[in-house]
């Protein structure tokens, strides 16, 4: 997600779709505020972008559609944990492409030697996604009444 694309996303500029060569559904993203925060972070530190710890657009090239966005919340912390987040468009949210998206992010994270644990925080209302996360060998830990921290360690991933 290059700076110019992110700026267009925040501004709600109709040029984003044509620049990416895809259709961007109306109503996406659900909250531009989160992307404003990413834009502020990127402008403060190009280090994250140059080291590859950033957000990515998820595209369906066959259908020429934006599926969503995914990425890392920052560099790995002192314990080697890296947190990921993602948002899907409403059509793709129903189609459940989570496994493919998360597997790509997990694989990418573990190419970095300083990453020991991959983390995803979710709400408690997961439906079928619970099976997807477990199928990826992620373990759930409640960290709040309404939040579950799903994690997979490098050791589990490599075995």
Positive/negative CA dihedral, 150, 152, 156, 158: positive
Q: What are phi and psi of 21, to 5 degrees?
A: 75, 30
CA dihedral (49, 117, 127, 97) in degrees, to 10, reads: 40
Greater confidence, 62 or 42? 62
pLDDT in tens, 99-129: 999 999 999 999 999 999 999 999 988 889 9
- Looking at residue 52, what is its pLDDT? 63
Greater confidence, 95 or 53? 95
Q: Which two tokens stand for residue 51?
A: 């080291």
Rounded Cα gap, residues 1 and 8, in angstroms: 11
The CATH classification of domain 3-158, taken from the options 2.30.29.30, 3.40.50.12280, 3.30.1280.10, 3.40.630.30? 3.40.630.30
pLDDT in tens, 3-51: 788 888 888 768 889 988 999 988 888 877 777 877 777 776 665 555 6
> Domain limits of the chain?
3-158
Q: Reduced to 3 states, what is the DSSP secondary structure of residue 99? A: helix
């Amino acid at each position: 997600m290059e700076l110019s694309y992110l700026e267009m996303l925040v501004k709600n500029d109709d040029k984003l779709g044509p620049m990416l060569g895809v259709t961007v559904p109306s109503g996406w993203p659900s909250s531009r505020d989160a992307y404003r925060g990413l834009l502020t972070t990127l402008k403060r530190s190009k280090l994250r972008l140059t080291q590859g710890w950033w957000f990515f657009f998820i595209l369906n090239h066959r259908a020429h559609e934006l599926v969503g966005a995914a990425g890392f919340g920052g560099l790995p912390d002192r314990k080697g944990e890296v947190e990921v987040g993602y948002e899907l468009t409403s059509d793709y949210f129903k189609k459940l492409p989570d496994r493919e998206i998360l597997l790509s992010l997990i694989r990418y994270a573990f190419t970095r030697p300083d990453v020991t644990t991959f983390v995803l925080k979710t709400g408690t209302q997961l439906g079928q996604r619970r099976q997807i996360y477990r199928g990826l060998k992620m373990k759930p830990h409640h960290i709040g009444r309404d939040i579950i921290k799903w994690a997979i360690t490098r050791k589990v991933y490599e075995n």
